[in-house]
Amino acid sequence: MNEVLLNNEFFIEIKQCPITSIILIINVLIWFNHFAYDISTEKVSFNYKEIIGGQYWRVISSTFSHSNIIHLILNSISIWNTSKIEIIKGSYYYFKYNHYIGYSCVCFGLLVIYIKLITNSIISYYPFLCLIYSCFMIKNASIIGHFNGIIIGALINIDLFEKYLPINKNSFYVITLIIFICFIINLYKTLPNLTIFKFNNNNNNNNNGNINFLKCFP
């Protein structure tokens, strides 16, 4: 049975693109967390005023947050459809450019990169058609963010970052770890009452208690 599952085409694709799979899982888990605790998108969105005020973690939280289930499904489909980038270029290349754009924007950037892989064209009209479609069909779509994703994808296609921002795998992972640590420190500094786990004593005031996992964001 296990051999059948491991040889299944779907599981083979998952093994070939682990970063894509992990990102999809993170997006789904965070959406369920927000849905379960009724967390407003305003508390995790990218907002200039709040970020300048010290809530730098919003740069990351906005990337993995979605306003509703339709938003999540559309982005998840787009992410999986561009998973061939990871298969062709490798997990490092895919992961290297997936930070701080916002996931709808990341999808547009990946779309531009994917089109270059299959057509050898730095940029095409198709992402702009998707941009126009999102303007009319998706409520409160971040048009500027989506357009920025197209621009970032085009810049990656011309190897601009490789030329002017040379970085090897080891230093990339160190920088990523430092950014993540700074994210956690800033999160707790701006939200001192936030806890990941909470120990609640029962009414009998004995040593027994329940450990409840709390929401990731306020």
Q: DSSP secondary structure string, 86-110?
A: HHHH-HHHHHHT-SSS-HHHHHHHH
Which of 171-176's residues contact partners 24+ apart within 8 Å by CB, and which partners?
A: 172/92, 172/96, 176/99
Residue 202 has pLDDT above 50, yes or no: no
Q: Which comes out higher in pLDDT, residue 214 or 149?
A: 149
The CA distance from 96 to 92, in Å, is 6
Every domain of the chain and the residues it spans: 2-213
78 CA to centre of own chain = 12
E strand spans, 8-167: none
Please tell me whether the overall predicted TM-score, pTM, comes out greater than 0.75 for this model: no
Beta-bridge partners for 128: none
CA dihedral 61, 63, 65, 66 (to 10 degrees): 160
Collapsed DSSP state (helix, strand, coil) of residue 200: strand
Q: What is the pLDDT of residues 93-133, one digit of tens each?
A: 555 544 333 466 777 777 888 788 777 777 777 778 877 77
Q: What CATH number should be reported for the domain whose range is 2-213?
A: 1.20.1540
DSSP string for residues in 123-135: --SHHHHHHHHHH
Q: Is the separation of the CB atoms in 115 and 121 below 8 Å?
A: yes
Residue 140 has pLDDT above 80, yes or no: no
Beta-bridge partners for 26: none
The CA distance from 105 to 3, in Å, is 38
The CA distance from 202 to 136, in Å, is 53
Surface-to-core class of residue 94, CB atoms within 10 Å of its CB (0-12 exposed, 13-18 middle, 19+ buried) = buried
pLDDT value, residue 188:
61
Q: Which comes out higher in pLDDT, residue 181 or 103?
A: 181
Q: Which of 127, 112, 124, 114 shows the shortest CA–CA distance to 88?
A: 114
Q: What is the pLDDT of residues 142-175, one digit of tens each?
A: 666 677 777 877 877 777 666 655 555 566 566 6
